Structure 1
Amino acid sequence: MSAAANRPAVKGPSAGRRATGRRTTDRRAGRSPAFGRPSSLGRLAKAVVLTLCCAVVVVPFAGILATSLADRAEITRAGGFVLVPHGVHLAAYRAVLSGGVVTRALVISLLVTAVGTALSLAATALLAYGLSRTDSVGHRPLLMVVLFAVLFGPGIIPSYLVVKQFGLLDSYWSLILPVMVNAFNVVVVRAFFMELPAELLDAARIDGAGDWTVLWRVVLPLSRAVLAVIGLFYAVGYWNSFFNALLYLNDTSKWPLQLVLRTYVVNNTSLGVDQVGASGSSLPPQTAIQMAILVISLVPVLVVYPFVQRHFGKGVLTGAVKG
C-alpha cells in the first residue's frame, strides 16, 4: 500500500465554504448548528404540549364566561358549570351593573388604579432619574436604601401601625400610598435611564436645558417602552390588590372590586336584591352573578394588555445581561 493512501485527507477551501454555508443556513433557519432538524415526533410532542397549556388557560375562562351568560335551567342541568351555553342571557350583568355593591366597587377600583398608577409612575421616574445621575446629592446612600428595600420588605404589623399613625385607616389613600413606589421597578427604570446616550443629555444641557427639561423633553420620550411595562405592572397590582383593603378599610362601602370578589365569590356569600341594586324581587342564579363579577374583574386587564404587549420585549429585558 502506498504512503499516499495512509496520508490523511486535506480539506480544501471549497469544503470550508460548504461547512460555512451549512452553518449560515442553520442560523437563518433559526436553529443552532449543534442541533439537527427536529423530527416529526418532536414537532408533534411540542404541538400537544402547547395545546394542553392553552386548554388549561382557555377552558376555565370559557366556562366562567359561558356560565355568566347561561340561565337558571341550563346552570342547574349542567351542575353549576356551563361550557357551551345554548343562549346568551345578560341578566347577571344587568343585575350587577345596575347599581349597588358591585357597581360602586368597580368605580372605586377604577379610580384607585388610575390615580395610583399615575402617582407610582411619576414617583418611580423621578426617583430613578435622580439615582441614575451619579453626581446627584445623596446618590449612594439613597441607592443603598432602595436596594435594601428590594431585599427586605416591611411586615404586616409595622405597615399597619404606620398607616394608622398617619391617620389613613378607612381612607382610599391607604390603598395607594403604602405601595406607591416599588423598589424593584425603580431599579429597572434606573438601569434604562443609565443606558441612554450621555452625549444626548450633554447636548441638551449645552442648549440650556435644566434637569427638569432634560427629564421631560428628552428622557421620558425615549423611555416609553419601559414606562409602559412598569405602568402595566403597577396597574395590575392596584387592580388585583385586596389584602390592603382587607387590612385598612373597615367601611364596606369603600371596598374595591377585588375585595367584593373575594367576599361574594371565594367565600360564596349570596347577594341580595338590595346589595345588587336590581329591580324586582327575583335575581339571576347566584352562580351566574358570581361568574359575571369574575368576568368584570378580568376585562380591564384584558383590554389594556394588548396595547402594552408590544413594549414587553424591550421593557422587560432592560438591564439584562447582554450576550
Structure 2
Amino acid sequence: MKKIDVFQIVNTLFVLLFALLCTLPILLVLIVSFSDEESILRKGYSFIPDHFSLEAYKSVFGSNDQLLQSYGVSIGVTVIGTLAAVVITGMAGYMLANRQVRYRNPIALFFFITMLFNAGLVPWYMMNDLLGFKNNLLALIVPTLIFSPFNLFLVRNFMQELPEALLESARIDGASDAYIAFRIVFPLSLPVLATIALFYGLGYWNNWFNAIMLVDKESLYPLQYLLYKLQSEINMVNQMQGLVTSNITIPTESFKMAVAIITIGPIVLLYPFLQRFIIKGLIVGAVKG
C-alpha cells in the first residue's frame, strides 16, 4: 500500500485554496458586469444578484464601429510595439552581456540612472511634438518603445548565464555578432524574451496616456482611451441627472465591471501560453545582478 504523503496533501489543498481566492475576484467582476444597476446600488456587489442585465454591455457596444476600430488600433499598436521593443531590448541586452564590448559596465550604469531620474512631462511632450509623433500611429508606439531598464537588465542577466564557450566557438567558425545574436543567443533566451514581451504587451495594451497627450483623431483612439471617455461621459450624465428628477438608472458600476472584462480578456487568454517561459525567465534573469 502506498504511503500517504501528508505534506503533499496539505500543500495541494493550500494551492487550490489560493487559486480559488485569486479566481473569486475575477468571477465577481464578471457577475457584477451582468447585474442590474439598481440591485448593485441596493445590495452592493454580490455573487447572486437580484436581476441580471445587459445594459452595461449595451452601453459599451452602443457604437459598434468605433469600438471595433479602437480594438483594431490597440491590437495593432500592441503587436507592432511589443515586437519592436523586444528586438531592441534583446539587442541592447546582448551588447551589455557581450564580454567583447568595451565599457559595457559604464554603459549599463547610464541605463540604470534612467531608472532613478527622468526629465519630466514637458520635455517628453516637446520631444514628441518636435519629432512629429502627433495624431498618427507612431504617437502610440514610439514614445513607449524605448525599452524599460528593468527589462534590459533582466535580459542581460539571463544572457550572461549562457555558456561563453558556445559563443567563442561560433566566433572561431567566423560567425558575426548579428548571426550569434539572432541565431544562437535569442533562441536560447526565449524564456526571458517571452517574459519581457508580456510586460511590454501589457504596457501597450493598457496605455491610454499617449492618446490623451498626443492624439486628437477619434479614428486613432485605442481601446483603453475610448472606454475611459465612455466612462467619463456616463459619470457626467449621472452628475447631471442628480440635478433633475428622473427614473432612469445609468449603469455606472456595472459599466465599470464590463469595461474591466473587455480589457483584460485578451491578456487572460494570452498569459497561459507564455506562463512556462515567464517563470523560467524571471527566475534565471533575476539571479545574477
The TM-score range, normalised by the shorter chain, is 0.7 to 0.9
C-alpha contact (below 8 Å) 2:195/2:282 kept by paired residues: yes
TM-score of the pair, normalised by structure 2: 0.77
C-alpha contact (below 8 Å) 1:131/1:190 kept by paired residues: yes
Q: How many residue pairs are counted as aligned between the two chains?
A: 266
Structure 1 distance, partners of 2:40, 2:106, is 62
1:256 aligns to 2:218 (yes or no): no
1:193 aligns to 2:159 (yes or no): yes
Let me know the Cα RMSD of the aligned residues.
Answer: 3.5
CA shift, 1:215, in A, is 1.2
Structure 1 distance, partners of 2:164, 2:60, is 54
Unaligned runs of 5+ in 2: 238-249
Task: Report the AA paired with residue 179 of structure 1.
Answer: T
C-alpha contact (below 8 Å) 1:261/1:294 kept by paired residues: no
Task: Report the AA paired with residue 47 of structure 2.
Answer: L
- The residue aligned with 1:99 is 64
CA shift digits 1:38-78 (9 cap, x unpaired): xxxxx8xx96xx959954x54443233123334xxx44344
C-alpha contact (below 8 Å) 1:132/1:194 kept by paired residues: yes
Structure 2 distance, partners of 1:51, 1:30, is 15
- The residue aligned with 2:48 is 84
Query: Per residue, is there more helix in 1 or in 2?
Result: 2
CA shift, 1:258, in A, is 1.4
Structure 1 distance, partners of 2:188, 2:6, is 33
- Sort the Cα spacing of 1:173 and 1:192 in 2 relative to 1 into closer, same or farther, 3 A: same
Q: 2:184 aligns with which of 209, 214, 218?
A: 218
- Higher RCO (Cα < 8 Å, 6 or more apart): 2
C-alpha contact (below 8 Å) 2:95/2:104 kept by paired residues: yes
C-alpha contact (below 8 Å) 2:39/2:51 kept by paired residues: no
CA shift, 1:165, in A, is 1.1
1:113 aligns to 2:96 (yes or no): no
Structure 2 distance, partners of 1:246, 1:297, is 18
Unaligned runs of 5+ in 1: 1-27, 32-42, 272-283
Task: Report the AA paired with residue 71 of structure 2.
Answer: L
C-alpha contact (below 8 Å) 2:154/2:285 kept by paired residues: yes
TM-score of the pair, normalised by structure 1: 0.70
SS state at 1:176 partner: helix
Task: Report the AA paired with residue 101 of structure 1.
Answer: Q
- Sort the Cα spacing of 1:228 and 1:30 in 2 relative to 1 into closer, same or farther, 3 A: farther
1:62 aligns to 2:27 (yes or no): yes
- The residue aligned with 2:95 is 130
Larger Rg, first or second structure (1 or 2): 1
Structure 1 distance, partners of 2:153, 2:108, is 9
C-alpha contact (below 8 Å) 1:121/1:230 kept by paired residues: yes
C-alpha contact (below 8 Å) 2:133/2:139 kept by paired residues: yes
- Sort the Cα spacing of 1:155 and 1:292 in 2 relative to 1 into closer, same or farther, 3 A: same
CA shift digits 1:139-182 (9 cap, x unpaired): 35533321222222331111111111111122221222122111
- Sort the Cα spacing of 1:89 and 1:195 in 2 relative to 1 into closer, same or farther, 3 A: same
Structure 2 distance, partners of 1:76, 1:247, is 36
1:296 aligns to 2:258 (yes or no): no
- The residue aligned with 1:229 is 195
